Amino acid sequence: MARKTVLVSDLTGKEIRDPKDSAQVVIKYGDARRGQITVDVLASEVDDLASKGRKTARRGRKPGTKVEPQAP
């Protein structure tokens, strides 16, 4: 017997057919005891919500930057 995993939007219940059209919304509370909630959605469903937020820069060094060793 074969199994097939189907990803479904937690907001509307629609099937997410293309992984490029999927997104995850992560809710982090100020009170860490409440934990963190992750919601799988279609990217088109959260466009309006995402436009109200701000984009967070990626962390770490930019690719191609060299770190020179410091002289003692």
5-60 pLDDT tens trace: 889 999 999 999 998 999 999 999 998 899 999 999 999 988 888 888 888 887 87
Residue 1 has pLDDT above 70, yes or no: yes
Backbone angles phi, psi at 27, to 5 degrees: -110, 120
Backbone angles phi, psi at 15, to 5 degrees: -75, 135
Q: Residue 41 burial by CB count (10 A; 0-12/13-18/19+): exposed, middle or buried? A: buried
Q: What is the pLDDT of residue 32?
A: 86
**What are the CA-CA distances from residue 70 to residues 16, 49, 63, 67 (Å)?**
50, 46, 20, 9
Q: What is the pLDDT of residue 50?
A: 84
